[in-house]
Amino acid sequence: MNYCESYTHYKRFPTREVKIGNIIIGGKHSICLQSMTTKDTMNTEASIAESIRMIDAGCELVRITAPSKKEAENLTNIQKGLRDKGYTTPLVADIHFTPNAAEIAATIVDKVRINPGNFADKKRFETHIYTEESYQAEINRIEKKFAPFVRVCKENKTAMRIGVNHGSLSDRILSRFGDTPKGMVESAMEFIHICEKNDYFDIVLSMKASNPQVMVQAYRLLVATMKENNMNYPLHLGVTEAGEGEDGRIKSAIGIGALLEDGLGDTIRVSLTEAPEKEIPVARIIAERYEKRKNTESDIPTLDFEPALNPFSYSRRESTAILNCGGKQVPVVIADLSHLKNIKPAHLYPFGYNYSIPTDKWTITDASVDYIYIGDNTIDFQIPGTLSVIQNLKTWRKDGATKKRHYPIITSDLLSSEEISSTNYFVSVFSADLEVIKKLKNVENKNCVILLQNNSKLPYHATRRFMFELEKEQLALPVIYNFNYSSIADEETFLLNASTDNGALFLDGFGDGIMLTAPTASAQLINRVAFGILQATRTRIYKTEYISCPSCGRTLFDLEETTKKIREKTHHLKGLKIAVMGCIVNGPGEMADADYGYVGSGTGKVSLYKEKEMVKKSVDEANAVNELILLIKENGDWVEPV
């Protein structure tokens, strides 16, 4: 099943155009940036003020929740207030559970988002067994509920987003297809077919999940399915409940960026647990990278074979274990210290190692790098036992050959050297140099790790092409990526680009390690980004993961403040996934991907979940964080902080 125009060139998937108010998305139009208000929709002035902040920040589509008829009706006042102030940005109504609210909203705003998982179904986490006849009867029932809304949209020339969320698939879909990308796609296709049956085509599609792996696979499968059915609806991209701060940005860039690299995506929303206007600058950096790609000629050889890649499921590339790289070992992290003149113990602090002079001991964190690359430098102090050193060959000959855990790095022209045949070593190669693969294959002692650098205008595509060639030649050497971001001046762009380039490859199962070179970024940030990419792709878990929604008018408590409180109490619980959800729309569903859940259930009330099972209902918000900790303890997942 083909899902993209090219594996190795940037070519945008040609989608149909959909008019939304005074803008058009799809086709050859620029990627549209959008976000969602957080204020109560019945608070007209607050919603208008927040919308203006978003628009002034560059938001091109403003989405507002309408959980019932009264909120849908109040969209008239919000829209009028914006128009009176000179703002013509299209409005989108976000609907869950209430078809009658959707029909009202469709007569007011420019676009309505509906969720197939709860538009005509109720979610009770029940499993049902269907015959073909009984399943078709369910489809007929859904059509009776959904078709009137489709006709209202058609009559009012209102666009529609069919927005599937991994966390809110209906019991019917889950019973037949499971909690899978396949189920997400089938959920959307059912509603698309009803739209087309009513001669309605102003549709945008989304396949959101809090796990970038699931999200990317679902979008790919959706496009492949559309192509099989001669469809080309535009795509809205987003990682739902991405979280806050650097973690939310890394996770969003990985999921959104991986798809944009393949030419998929017409509008994006970065879902951060922050003020909505803060999402727009992040989305702009992600999108602008691909606007600049429009006229970029590829310098990568076209594939002349079918690559060994299943884009719809994850499997890690099989590689030989050399040192602690490759095989079934977690990806390694290398810190680039080659730019330093005189390396001291203090230089290791940003990379997870803290040396105490009084005790003469090292303290090691969960985010401690596995290697340091020091170029032509030497180390004149005792390094921690968990750390290894990579040196340029000339320096290694003089300094490192007799030291433990010191390894040389060579260029490909020295692959046949007798000097390094008896030791483990690293070889630096460029992704555009496909000829080096033949050299590597002919080396008798394959005891090297590839440090793959980029020298292409399309870094992700060139690296992916190199990995395809390795697979074709059945060369199982471990590969560590070294992307260089010396041309990037600001730290946020570095974070987002690095997350896309590396994260997309790890999502495809490629890669045994990561080294980031970024002269303009702080050492602490470089280390956090490297480990954050591995955490977000779930290839190396080193800390607690928080799945938190970005807030909206349905949210029943201060999400930013609550997430901060929960993080302060639980950040030491390595490997645990905790979801913080403002309401029940996606809350219980996303519990399936989390170990514990904290979900708003009413004003001042919170329900607590163990996975997808509610175990404590209507807990007072004032006590809810402590009750969450108690729940974690009761299930044996708590450890005392050090």
Q: Provide the pLDDT for residue 123.
A: 65
Q: Does residue 301 have a pLDDT over 90? A: no
Strands 596-602 and 605-610: antiparallel
Helix-strand-coil split of the chain, %, nearest 5: 40, 20, 40
* Residue 394, domain member (yes or no): yes
Same domain, 368 and 424: yes
pLDDT at 588 (0 to 100): 59
Distance CA 356, CA 201 (A): 66
Tell me if 444 is assigned to some domain: yes
Tens-place pLDDT, residues 158-210: 999 999 999 889 989 999 999 899 999 999 999 999 999 999 999 999 999 99
**For residue 321, is it within any domain?**
no
Residue 136 domain-assigned?
Answer: yes
**Do 573 and 449 share a domain, yes or no?**
no
* Whole-number average pLDDT of the chain: 93
Q: Which of 279, 294, 319 is the last residue of a domain?
A: 279
Q: Are residues 348 and 407 in the same domain?
A: yes
529 and 414, same structural domain? Answer: yes
- H or E element that contains 203: strand 203-208
Among 502, 536, 570, the domain-final residue is 536
C-alpha span between 137 and 146 (Å, rounded) = 14
CATH of the domain at 564: 3.30.413.10
CA dihedral 23, 26, 28, 33 (to 10 degrees): 60
Q: Looking at residue 584, what is its pLDDT?
A: 62
Calculate mean pLDDT across residues 417-438.
Answer: 89
The answer to whether residue 21 scores a pLDDT higher than 60 is: yes
Q: How confident is the model at residue 378 (pLDDT cuts 50, 70, 90)?
A: very high
Give the Cα separation of 83 and 75 in Å (integer): 12
Domain check: are 191 and 245 in the same one?
yes
Q: Could you tell me the residue range of the domain that residue 613 belongs to? A: 545-634
Same structural domain, 100 and 247: yes
Looking at residue 302, its pLDDT comes to: 86
Q: How many domains does the chain have?
A: 3
Give the span between the Cα atoms of 29 and 17, in whole angstroms: 8
Distance linking the first and last C-alpha atoms of the chain:
50
- Beta-carbon contacts of 568 under 8 Å, excluding residues fewer than 6 positions away, are none
- Same domain? For 449 and 471 the reply is yes
* pLDDT tens track for 307-357: 988 999 999 999 999 999 999 999 999 999 999 999 999 999 999 999 999
Do residues 408 and 393 touch, judged by C-beta distance below 8 A? yes
Token code pair at residue 184? 């997400």
Beta bridge partners of residue 335, listed in sequence order: 372
Mean pLDDT, range 527-534, rounded to an integer: 98
Sorted by sequence, the CB contacts under 8 Å of residue 621 that are 6+ apart come out as 557, 604, 605, 606
pLDDT at residue 268 is higher than 80: yes
Is residue 302 included in any domain, yes or no? no
Of all residues in the chain, what percent carry a pLDDT higher than 70?
A: 97
Is 2 a member of any domain?
Answer: no
Which tens digits make up the pLDDT trace of 581-600? 876 665 555 555 789 989 88
Q: Do both 521 and 552 map to the same domain?
A: no
Q: What is the pLDDT of residue 328?
A: 95
CB 272 within 8 A of CB 550: yes
pLDDT value of position 445: 76
- Domain of 45, CATH number, reads 3.20.20.20
Query: In the predicted model, what is the mean pLDDT of residues 288-302?
Result: 87
Q: Is residue 11 part of a domain?
A: no
The predicted model gives 500-514 an average pLDDT of 97
- In this prediction, residue 641 carries a pLDDT of 86
Same domain, 464 and 568: no
pLDDT at 147 exceeding the cut of 80: yes
CATH number at residue 341: 3.20.20
Residues 44-49 have a mean pLDDT of 98
Instruction: Please enumerate, as own/partner, the contacts of 46-53 that have beta carbons within 8 Å and a separation of 24 or more.
Output: 47/78, 47/553, 48/78, 48/81, 48/82, 48/85, 50/276, 50/277, 51/78, 51/82, 51/87, 51/89, 51/91, 52/82, 52/85, 52/87, 53/275, 53/276, 53/277
Quick check: 611 pLDDT over 90?
no
Is 372 in the same domain as 501?
yes
152 part of a folded domain: yes
> Are 94 and 240 in the same domain?
yes
Residue 58, classed as helix, strand or coil, is coil
